[in-house]
Structure 1
Amino acid sequence: MNGPVVVGVDGSDSALAAVDVAAREARMRDVRLRVVHAFTWPAMHAPGASPLGPPAGAIHQAVEHLLTQAVGRASAAAPEVEVSHAVIPGEELTVMEAQSRTAQLIVVGHRGTGGFLELLLGSTAVHLSAHAHCPVMVVRGRPDPAGPVVVAVDSSPQSQPALAFAFAEAALRGADLLALHAWSTWADHGEHRFGDPVDLVDLIDDVEQLQAEEERVLAEALSGHRERYPELTVETSLVRKRTRPALIEASDSAQLMVVGARERGGLSAMFPGSARHAVLHHARCSVTVVPSDL
């Protein structure tokens, strides 16, 4: 796909950090960078007039300053990348979801201008990761530039696009790949965590046999991908731990974490108990969420 890398900006420090990362991602992919600002106020304006108001008005000038600052940051981070910008009237999630239809990657900051209320309700980054039509990179933490790309592996077919993306991303970055599969004897009552977890170890006759089965799951998930990237150094990690803490711990020494989105528009990624929600809010490196039908 030759679409651009698209970065959303809202004037926050987090968004400016995302611009730096997006510019470097565009340079690695040898594609254009598109800087987008979703403008949501005022909702009503005269037909035919700019929603930003008159060119000399305070709103117009504030948005122009925001975009000029973002484009300047992008050009400084990757001077060779062609950068365009746009102000699109609409709610941020709606605007960025529409952009994801033609982009090869959406980049956003982990915290916008919504502050604490945004964190309570579920940030744009979390919602967008569940609705986008292309991978969404949420910029956060302090990635280790020498660390591996970490990909979360499970037994579902929906995880295969995330694996394919992670292999390609590691090759693009010249990084190692760490495929992590977490397993445990704890039953979490579904991904939404409506009930308390229960340790089933006393009900399992052979924990070693269960571990061997999990090793098989990991090996089968990676089969085919290794052959396409014979030069890539791939390490595997089978961790007996619940998924959320295992992923957050692995992010400490990673340059990027890749996780799959079960289904576009689903609620699972937006629930506070889900693994994707956890890493999007607590990972110590940037996180890319890959749609299951990519």
Structure 2
Amino acid sequence: MSGLVVVGVDGSASSLAAVETAAREARWRRAGLRVVHAFLWPAMHVPLGPSALGPPEGGIRNMVEHLVAEAVACARSVAPEVDVSHAVVIGEPLSVLEAQSRTAQLVVVGSRGMGGFVGLLVGSTAVHLAAHGKCPVLVVREAGDQAGPVVVGVDGSIVGEQAVDFAFAEAALRKAPVRALHAWTTWNTPLSAPQDAAVPYANPPGALAREEERLVSEALAGHRERYPEVAVVHQVVHGRTREALIEASRSAQLLVVGARGRGGFAGLLLGSVSQAVLHHAHCPVAVARGSGGRR
């Protein structure tokens, strides 16, 4: 495997945690790592050099060079064999990292940056990238259980299929099992035609549960053959999807979701379940980007 893993840095503790994760991802993928900082201040015509009254090592430009150097050193300490490059790009973080995602196989960011508001669980950059990135986006929240599985939300949508693809590939890289989780309620399950014409809106007992089991089996079809080394457990639960995934994340090393599921509104770039796990999951969250629609 080759290509490029991109990590956004801003000097925060959250972004350094993202650097460590990105370095491991690059090592697993045999990819290069690019450390990127979005340098907003030149566009605002702010003086970049040291103040005449301050030390020569002061100033915004020196600060940026220091934080990027710190991130590069951190990456090389985690994965010395990875080719690490860096770039300081003039622009605001959202547009800079979105542009970087066009040529990357993965973009990694921290859950909150230097500009985060107190009490905000996930920063705007992470949410924006999850909605607009052109490649999978990994948001580093809590460390997760490194002995746990890769949990993937399965819903039968085309976007969900891409999440399953990403989860199996990631599990193979990590040498971890996959836990495929599907949650359903009578409100988010499409009803099939009733078999009893005398009761036009009734389904036989257990029919919905069997339909959801079939959905998961179809979603996983072919992946066991493509990734024979990956152990797979699938779980179908009757309940709300976001709560089930957040609970499963407590014992996971990674949670993978699609950007939008089968209940998403047309034109909505990031579904409510994806947003919920980005804010509340207990492990890093990967959002697999893809086109909308239903299988």
Please state which band the TM-score falls in when normalised by the shorter chain: 0.7 to 0.9
Give the RMSD, CA atoms, in angstroms: 2.5
Q: Which moved more, 1:99-108 or 1:227-236?
A: 227-236
Closer/same/farther in 2, CA of residues 81 and 122 from structure 1, 3 Å limit: closer
Q: Structure 2 CA distance, aligned partners of 1:120 and 1:246?
A: 19
Partner Cα separation in structure 2 for residue 121 and residue 139 of structure 1: 10
Q: Which moved more, 1:222-231 or 1:117-126?
A: 117-126
Which residue number in structure 2 is paired with residue 221 of structure 1?
Answer: 219
Mapping for residues 102-181 of structure 1, pairs under 5 Å: 102-116=103-117, 119=120, 123-181=124-182
Which residue identity lines up with residue 22 of structure 1 in the other structure? A
What is the CA distance between 1:268 and its match in structure 2? Answer: 4.8
Q: In structure 2, how many angstroms separate the alpha carbons of the residues matched to 1:262 and 1:149?
A: 19
State the Cα deviation string for residues 219-268 of structure 1 (Å, max 9, x = none).
111111122112221100101110110000000000001111139x9535
Larger Rg: 2
TM-score normalised to structure 2 length: 0.85
1:290–1:52 distance in 2 versus 1, CA, 3 Å: farther
Contact 1:130 1:266 in 2 (8 A): no
Match of 2:260 in 1: 262
**TM-superposed deviation, 1:71:** 0.8
1:192-239 deviation per Cα after TM superposition (whole angstroms, max 9, x unaligned): xxxxxxxxxxx8654511101100111111111122112221100101
User: How big is each residue's C-alpha offset from its partner over 1:88-136, in whole Å with a ceiling of 9 and x where there is no partner?
Assistant: 0111110001000111110000011222279389621111011111110
In structure 2, what residue type is equivalent to 1:159? G
Q: What is the TM-score normalised by the length of structure 1?
A: 0.85
**Displacement, 1:53?**
4.6
Distance 2:146 2:183 in 1: 24
Residue 13 of structure 1: aligned partner:
13
Secondary structure, in 3 states, of the residue corresponding to 2:74?
helix
Q: Tell me the residue number matched to 1:243.
A: 241
Give unpaired runs (5+ residues) of structure 1. 189-202
Structure 1 residue runs of 4+, over 6 Å off?
none
> 1:145-202 CA deviation, whole Å, 9 max, x = no partner?
11000111012122111111111111111100011001112459xxxxxxxxxxxxxx
Change (3 A) 1:280 1:80: same
Asked if 2 retains the 8 angstrom alpha-carbon contact of 1:161 and 1:293, the reply is no
Unaligned runs of 5+ in 2: 51-55, 190-200
Aligned twin of 1:212? 210
Match of 1:194 in 2: none
Matches within 5 A, 1:56-135: 58-116=59-117, 119=120, 123-135=124-136
Identity %: 63
CA distance in 2, matches of 1:266, 1:138: 23
